[in-house]
Amino acid sequence: MKIIVTKNYDEMSKKAAELMAEIIKNKPDCVLGLATGDTPIGMYNELVAKYEAGEIDFAAVRSINLDEYYPISPDNDQSYRYFMNKHLFDRVNIDKANTRVPDGTAENVREFCSAYEAHLDALGGTDVQVLGIGRNGHIGFNEPDAELERFTHLVELTPDTIEANSRFFASEAEVPKHALTMGIHSVFKARKILLLASGKNKAAAINALVKSNITTSCPATLLCLHPDVTVICDEDAYSLV
């Protein structure tokens, strides 16, 4: 695992965008595994700036997102589909038909999950999977548990995640109690994993990711089994290591 510690959030975002831009330049039809949350917003802004400067082109890029609340409609401004359109897809020349975010309105969840996993396979896995990290060590919405699922599945969110994510909603009661998420094996289909973290509230999770034994009670610890992981975090997130 390669760890890059930056001074602050802006530097983390710039470094991450540089790495992503290299991947897009080297393989114009690359498959980007994308993530939501506060953490990658700065990286998306940097990528948009690079696109506007004519440095990168999204015309042939394909993307697939990690997770989505369930149930939620794509036009709900808290949905991850809405987030991706707002922060990236509507601002660059990506063909939206080439983007996938789990469908928060899927009626047959089991069927949806296997189709999503099949789509990931049809893409040949991702060239890079961007990850944030929950303060409880979750990746995607793979919450700490005795067992972790391999593939895309429906998950019940933990009270900690509901509380952490309530800042985006009018009240905690409005946070969906479930989500659709890629599983650990789905994430591992990436040729490269890029995990971003910023701020003191991620320090315990980053400390566990770097130092703790591998445990399903901190899903991020499994990442040390993947052959190509880069962690870019700021000094605050790294402060307990």
138 catalytic per annotation: yes
CB of 192 to ligand GLP, least distance (A): 17
Q: Which of 71, 102, 140, 183 binds ligand GLP (CB under 6 A)?
A: 140
Of the residues 161, 189, 209, 220, which one makes contact with ligand GLP according to CB under 6 A? 161
Taking the complex as a whole, the smallest distance from the CB of residue 111 to ligand GLP amounts, in Å, to 22
| Closer of 104 and 134 to ligand GLP (Cβ) | 134
143 is known as an active-site residue: yes
8-state DSSP, 22: H
By CB under 6 A, tell whether 165 contacts ligand GLP.
yes
- Using CB under 6 A as the binding rule, whether residue 33 contacts ligand GLP is answered as no
Sheet bearing 178-181, strands edge to edge? 67-70, 178-181, 153-156
DSSP states of 112-179 as a string? HHHHHHHHHHHTTS-SEEEE---TTS-BTTB---SS--SSSEEEEPPHHHHHHHGGGSSSGGGS-SEE
- Residue in 103, 117, 143, 234 annotated catalytic: 143
Selecting among 68, 117, 138, 153, the annotated active-site residue is: 138
Q: Three-state DSSP class for 14?
A: helix
Q: Give helix 41-52 / helix 9-26 axis angle, nearest 10°.
A: 50
- Is residue 29 annotated as a catalytic residue, yes or no? no
Supply the residues annotated as catalytic: 67, 136, 138, 143
